[in-house]
Amino acid sequence: MRRLVAEIDLRPRHLVLPMFVKEGASEPVPIASMPGVVQHTRDSLRKAATEAVSAGVGGLMLFGVPESRDATGTAGVDPDGVLNVALRDLRAEVGDATVLMADTCLDEFTDHGHCGVLDAEGRVDNDATLAVYGEMAVAQAEAGAHLLGPSGMMDGQVGAIREALDAAGHVDTGILAYTAKYSSAFFGPFREAVESQLRGDRKTYQQDSANVREALRELALDLEEGADMVMVKPALAYLDVLRAVAETADVPVAAYQVSGEYAMVEAAAANGWLDRDRTVLETLTGIRRAGADIVLTYWATEVATRLTTE
Ligand code: PBG
């Protein structure tokens, strides 16, 4: 009877797996703060992507870890940069069997670790960054990404990327806008995962956790600029924001269960303090109930497998 009357469900197609690929790696490198998650080699990435697709996940979101970084994040734009190479690998490997997504952001590629380029005073230069995002977006579309995830929270990023894609003929490449991305301590383990060079914080461009109205303003702007889907991030501490966005948006809504949310459950489970499998499913169900059509989670393959075999 419980099954008969359940109000929402969680299916493999709702899940997106974020993945890391490390340039020059000969073995997958474990990420200490995210037990079970690795920085992939090109080969192990292909294998893990195939497993995720077999498990039925709805999408893959790819992040690159380059060997060298510079002030403007050149390696992110370079067609031979690690992320673009990996996108080409995966598109060849899985084709259109899942939605291939790319992180369209500079923080993995800059030597200062910020999501944009800096001005003479060392501040993030919003508009100069937009031009680089445009080039990066075209490179990622050319490498085979179906959907781009601009995560840098620059004002106007969705419009700039849409314009650059259209001008290059990539009219069918979609944009999953990181609409409400908060300046969050929950990104901690991700910084290890991408070997971030950041000192300081992103408070001048990511949102203040005190604000929900601001998220709705960001939503209106992203929709006006042409976002095909929108995202709230992190998930668990922002379920009210997710609910508000889901009630307002007329496009699909995603939520990103971030690295710190993953680490927190894994750490408690490793101590025997939480029932891991139940907790994982409960968090994902809660995120769906709050209004997410799509959930990005590092547990995607495992949960997708469990949902279809149990
Ligand atoms: C920025 C980006 C971040 C995450 C996804 N994209 C880090 C940040 O903004 O500091 C975090 C994801 C996670 O914590 O799992 N490119």
Q: 75-112 pLDDT, tens per residue?
A: 999 999 999 999 999 999 999 999 999 999 999 999 99
What integer pLDDT is reported at residue 310 of this predicted model? 74
What integer pLDDT is reported at residue 224 of this predicted model? 98
| Residue whose pair of structure tokens reads 């690690």 in the numeric block | 82
**Can you tell me which atom of ligand 1 is nearest the CA of 190?**
14
What integer pLDDT is reported at residue 120 of this predicted model? 95
Q: How far is the CA of 190 from the centre of ligand 1 (A)?
A: 6
What integer pLDDT is reported at residue 199 of this predicted model? 85
Q: Is the pLDDT of residue 183 over 90?
A: yes
Pocket test of ligand 1: the residue of 151, 154, 238, 262 to mutate, having most ligand atoms within 8 Å of its CB, is 151
Mean pLDDT value across the chain: 97
Pocket test of ligand 1: the residue of 20, 34, 105 to mutate, having most ligand atoms within 8 Å of its CB, is 105
Domain ranges within the chain, ordered by starting residue: 8-309
Cβ contact 217:230 at 8 Å: no
Q: Is the pLDDT of residue 200 over 90?
A: no
Q: Is the pLDDT of residue 197 over 80?
A: yes
What integer pLDDT is reported at residue 283 of this predicted model? 98
User: Distance of alpha carbon 265 from its chain centroid, rounded?
Assistant: 19
User: What angle do helix axes 276-289 and 239-248 make, rounded to 10 degrees?
Assistant: 30
The whole-number average pLDDT for the span 170-189 is 97
The whole-number average pLDDT for the span 215-219 is 98
Would you call 203 a catalytic residue per the annotation?
no
Determine which residue's CA is closest to atom 8 belonging to ligand 1: 187
CA atoms within 13 A on the CB side of 299: 24
**Site residues for ligand 1, CB cut-off 6 Å:** 103, 105, 107, 115, 151, 187, 190, 202, 258-259
Cβ contact 38:81 at 8 Å: no
**What secondary structure letter does DSSP report for 110?**
B
Q: How far is the CA of 187 from the centre of ligand 1 (A)?
A: 6
Q: How many residues does the chain have?
A: 310
Determine which residue's CA is closest to atom 11 belonging to ligand 1: 187
pTM exceeding 0.85: yes
Could you give the percent of the chain with pLDDT greater than 70? 100
Q: How far is the CA of 163 from the centre of ligand 1 (A)?
A: 24
| Exposure string for 193-209, b = 16+ CB within 10 A, e = fewer | bbbbeeeeebeebbbee
Cβ contact 241:218 at 8 Å: no
Would you call 181 a catalytic residue per the annotation?
yes
pLDDT tens, residue by residue, 24-72: 999 999 999 999 999 999 999 999 999 999 999 999 999 999 999 999 9
Pocket test of ligand 1: the residue of 107, 109, 136, 190 to mutate, having most ligand atoms within 8 Å of its CB, is 190
The whole-number average pLDDT for the span 249-267 is 98
State which amino acid sits at residue 96: D
What integer pLDDT is reported at residue 309 of this predicted model? 84
CATH number of 8-309: 3.20.20.70
